A and B are shown apart, each in its own frame.
Chain A
Amino acid sequence: MNTSDHPYLFILLLGLSAVAFALIPLGLAWLWAKKYSPKKENAIKNATYECGLESKGDAWIQFKSEYYLYAIIFLIFDVETIFLLPFAVSFTGLGVGAFISLMVFLFLLVSGLAWAWLKGVLTWK
């Protein structure tokens, strides 16, 4: 096995132990509750938490579509950040062409952001 794989193999193992670490307290508490403290349910305890008011209607509420807009702008900027990282680390070995192309890239990015700003998309109402 290649040695360069070891850190990643370790991360796989760490991931599995992280899942175990999250499961164990839940499982133990569940077992304890099952054996020694059975549930004492009643209607009020089970009610939806709304500061003492009785819950009306469905829990599903229509939220503002702005959230969706922010999510998609987030996605686009996330991709652009990823493009910027390989550029950043290989920057020193690159010539003028790469520099200019990055400027174009950043310009397109900024113009998108500026357009959204001017259109009032980034203003939370």
Chain B
Amino acid sequence: MIESVNNWLNGLSPAQSLLLFTSIKAVVCFAIMMTMFAYTVVLERRLCAWIQDRIGPNRVGPFGLLQPAADGIKAFFKEEMTPAHVRKVFFTLAPMIALIPAVLNLAVIPFGSTLGKQHMVLADLNVGILYTFGIVSLGVYSIVLAGYASNSKFPFLGGIRSSAQLISYEIAMGMSVIPIFLFVGDLNLNSVIKAQTGTQLGFLPNWFVIQSPMTFLAFCIFLVAAFAETNRTPFDLPEAEQELAGGYNIEYSSIKFAMFFMGEYCNMILVSAMMVTLFFGGWTLPWFGLDHAATTLLGGVLHIGIFLGKVFLFLVMFVWIRWMWPRFRYDQLMDLGWRRFIPLALANILVTAIWLWWQSGK
């Protein structure tokens, strides 16, 4: 059985096998992201219940583990309610645009080293990070269009507000990673991981988060911008319940609301994956030789496991912070972005450039 499969695989032309394996990888990646999405929601609800001394959803399946399935079925079969006053085309388009960037951004994340002969990245682009930022910048349309299409005051205000928030922190995010690329010298994300292998001081990982003060500062700015870009507390102004009753998506219900919800959580997963890749060594661990491309099947699986584990830790942090922090006021948010983080990121670029130049001159 296995032999015949092997023979069949060896008989394929390079283009065919590339197509086959890339599609398999894409489907698996996608399935993993959807599973993570489903269980991040459960995790969020259970953890928040625990923090607030409640029990949380525990009825559907053991420990409430089937809750996401129940939620999905409910969202799907609820009455598809499109209010009469909305602009129908944009109203349908907005939740779609919320999902599409999330799927597209999956492509460049290196989620493992090698498995057999296959590299564990869907599309190894040489413009890596620029592609990510380009796709992320398209996500703002879902919010603007949702606000505009709802043809109602709260969503309109919420949409305008959160798009201004997204674009402000996009700058902070883009500028914060430039020191990293000064160190790496390549935009490709695999090169970024390669630059983080090995150890420093004998045992500490050589990850960018602790490699130098500049890269640590870069990480801090990126982290804050990541919270703002994913609309998570303390930056969840779009769903400021007290002022806007939910922001850009209040006119939405049933499956369309579920799609916004899904897009939001997928973005959270992707931004965690980006942080792991850029600052926490991606799929590597500096010990036991785990920072080199795997030669065995088991090693490859282990690398993927390491990557997912790191992403999971970030997701827990996202959830944890949501239930620990109050929300910023809008003016505080804009001031923080434009008058603190952007100057800080610029100064960071400057210091890193001077440092590297001085280093190379020695």
B187 at the interface (CB under 8 A from A): yes
B81 at the interface (CB under 8 A from A): yes
A54 at the interface (CB under 8 A from B): no
Rounded to whole angstroms, the CA-CA distance of A26 and B156 in the bound complex is 23
Rounded to whole angstroms, the CA-CA distance of A10 and B105 in the bound complex is 13
Assess the B360–A7 pair: CB atoms within 8 A.
Answer: no
Scan residues 310-353 of chain B and give those whose CB is less than 8 A from a CB of chain A: 330-331, 334-335, 338-339, 342-343, 346, 349-350, 353
Q: Which residue of B is nearest A23, CB measured?
A: B96
User: With A71-B164, A92-B185 in contact, is A77–B22 under 8 Å at CB?
Assistant: no
- Residues of chain A lying within 8 A (CB to CB) of residue B171: 74, 77-78, 81
Which among A26, A48, A125 is the interface contact of B255 at CB below 8 angstroms? A26
Assess the B122–A88 pair: CB atoms within 8 A.
Answer: no
Assess the B77–A10 pair: CB atoms within 8 A.
Answer: no
Q: Which residue of A is nearest B339, CB measured?
A: A122
Rounded to whole angstroms, the CA-CA distance of A40 and B81 in the bound complex is 9
Minimal beta-carbon separation of A4 from chain B (angstroms): 8
B55 at the interface (CB under 8 A from A): no
Q: Which residue of A is nearest B251, CB measured?
A: A49
Which among B30, B342, B350 is the interface contact of A106 at CB below 8 angstroms? B350
Assess the B80–A85 pair: CB atoms within 8 A.
Answer: no
- Residues of chain A lying within 8 A (CB to CB) of residue B350: 103, 106
Rounded to whole angstroms, the CA-CA distance of A28 and B259 in the bound complex is 13
B287 at the interface (CB under 8 A from A): no
Q: Which residue of A is nearest B167, CB measured?
A: A74
Give the contact-size bracket for chain A.
Answer: 35 or more
Task: Name B residues whose Cβ lies closer than 8 Å to a Cβ of A.
Answer: 18, 22, 26, 30, 76-77, 79-81, 83-85, 92, 95-97, 99-100, 103-104, 106-107, 122-125, 129-131, 150-154, 156-157, 160, 164, 167-168, 170-171, 174-175, 178-179, 181-182, 184-187, 245, 250-251, 254-256, 258-259, 330-331, 334-335, 338-339, 342-343, 346, 349-350, 353, 356-357, 360
Assess the A22–B100 pair: CB atoms within 8 A.
Answer: yes
Rounded to whole angstroms, the CA-CA distance of A11 and B122 in the bound complex is 9
Q: Which residue of A is nearest B84, CB measured?
A: A46
A109 at the interface (CB under 8 A from B): yes
Q: Which residue of A is nearest B98, CB measured?
A: A22
Assess the A61–B157 pair: CB atoms within 8 A.
Answer: yes
Assess the B187–A85 pair: CB atoms within 8 A.
Answer: yes
A115 at the interface (CB under 8 A from B): no
Rounded to whole angstroms, the CA-CA distance of A14 and B121 in the bound complex is 13
- Residues of chain B lying within 8 A (CB to CB) of residue A99: 353, 357
Minimal beta-carbon separation of B208 from chain A (angstroms): 14
Assess the A88–B152 pair: CB atoms within 8 A.
Answer: no
The 10 closest A-B pairs by CB, nearest first: A7-B123, A18-B103, A124-B331, A22-B96, A88-B181, A33-B80, A29-B255, A46-B84, A81-B174, A124-B334
Rounded to whole angstroms, the CA-CA distance of A110 and B283 in the bound complex is 37
Assess the B104–A11 pair: CB atoms within 8 A.
Answer: yes
Q: Which residue of A is nearest B77, CB measured?
A: A32
Minimal beta-carbon separation of A52 from chain B (angstroms): 10
Minimal beta-carbon separation of A47 from chain B (angstroms): 8
Minimal beta-carbon separation of A88 from chain B (angstroms): 4
Minimal beta-carbon separation of A68 from chain B (angstroms): 9
Rounded to whole angstroms, the CA-CA distance of A26 and B255 in the bound complex is 7
- Residues of chain A lying within 8 A (CB to CB) of residue B167: 70-71, 74
Assess the A61–B153 pair: CB atoms within 8 A.
Answer: yes
Rounded to whole angstroms, the CA-CA distance of A77 and B345 in the bound complex is 12
Assess the A85–B178 pair: CB atoms within 8 A.
Answer: yes
Residue among B99, B157, B186 with most chain A CB within 10 A:
B99
Q: Which residue of A is nearest B262, CB measured?
A: A25
Rounded to whole angstroms, the CA-CA distance of A48 and B164 in the bound complex is 24
